[in-house]
Amino acid sequence: MKLELEVLASTNIKRKKPWPKIVWVGEEKESLLLLDNKSHRLSVLYVPSGNTKRRINKLSPLLEHAEIITTTKNGRYVVGFLKSGEVFIWHKDQDILKSIHGLETIVSEEDFIHGKTAIFSSNDCKHIIVILGTSHIYIWNREQTESVLESKVPEIRGTWNLITVPTEAGIPNCDECPECSVEGIFFTHQTNFLKSDFFDFIRTKDFNVDGKRSLKIAGKTLCNESSEALSLPPVNVEWTVIHYPLKLIHPSCKPVYRHGAFITKYADNGQVIAVAANQENPMHTGVLFASPLCDTVLPVSLNGCGSRDPYSQTGRNFWVSDMEWTCDSLFLACSLRNGCVCLLTRLGEPLVIQISWKVSRYGTITLFTIASTSYGQGRRRPNSFQS
């Protein structure tokens, strides 16, 4: 299968430090959020003109105190968690900033600074999940009937609740397992009489089962059900654990105890999660398409990630550093550390890509190298790797 792509815009970001995270922000999809949680940096890039807004008046004072900043899945809101326990929500298009308090009253200061922090929000900011370390998982539900934009007060009222983590779930500790990856998503499933809001939370790590190395996908599904015709409990939590042998990814697949060994990304509908299992030898790297709802796993090879040396042990240069699904969840885009980008079909292998820009045509390639491409000249062809 061949996919044709056209480059619509190109710009150079004149910064000495690279941006670890770039996401669409706003409803018009004309701006990109440049995000660096580690260095407390945040900027907005306007794609049509290429101009960068380095300082955002309402957000800049909060950056130094931010533990983590992310966006909703639809990119409409920027959501952040401060070291004080406060959560803030910023709507880019209308430049509206709201805050959420209350978590600091039920969580000790030690818990705030212990372990890795993650935050996930529904598209309408009606539900927010904050994960502190391994066993501290909190859900916030908005009380007001009006939306975040309709509220006239700076603080949004809601209720915080603790989600208990059972011991038998075996949730891995990110502090003890640098390869551990965390991912979550809110999605809605509706039938004739029942509307359910789900949140899926996944941790992946290497694990030893009966003396055999396997990939452990431990997840939680939170269901918030509402129905006028049925009397049902408001919240139901179900824990699931999937063990998948590393040898089924590749016969020579080995455990890798490094940060970034596993990269995870949920599809927008919450039905499938993609797990990139990076290896020191790029020929052994693969992607797993897993369905926590039915405990199904499908492995897919990345065909060496563009490496031409079958015995190479410099696989970290070819590691998958980030992934993102298209809006229809039909394609999965993977970016590699060496600057390459590849596309996979849903549950399928890498596609052959044909890219064109103005009068230039690059031909068919599987992995497209962005870093070495000079669009302005229209003559230089990027490095292409055939699978």
For 359-381, the pLDDT digits (tens) are 455 556 666 665 433 333 333 33
380 against 67, higher pLDDT: 67
In terms of pTM, does the model score above 0.85? no
39 residue type, one letter: S
Per the CB < 8 A criterion, the answer to whether 115 and 131 are in contact is no
pLDDT of residue 378: 35
How many whole angstroms separate alpha carbon 12 and alpha carbon 33? 15
164 against 227, higher pLDDT: 164
User: Which has the closest alpha carbon to 344: 324, 364, 360?
Assistant: 324
How many whole angstroms separate alpha carbon 269 and alpha carbon 327? 10
Which CATH architecture does the domain made up of 13-164 adopt? 7 Propeller (2.130)
Average pLDDT, the chain: 78
Sign of the alpha-carbon torsion through 24, 25, 27, 30: negative
How many whole angstroms separate alpha carbon 321 and alpha carbon 21? 10
How many whole angstroms separate alpha carbon 369 and alpha carbon 372? 6
In the three-class reduction of DSSP (H, G, I as helix; E, B as strand; rest coil), residue 27 is classed as: coil
Domain spans of the chain, in order of start: 13-164, 177-334
pLDDT of residue 317: 85
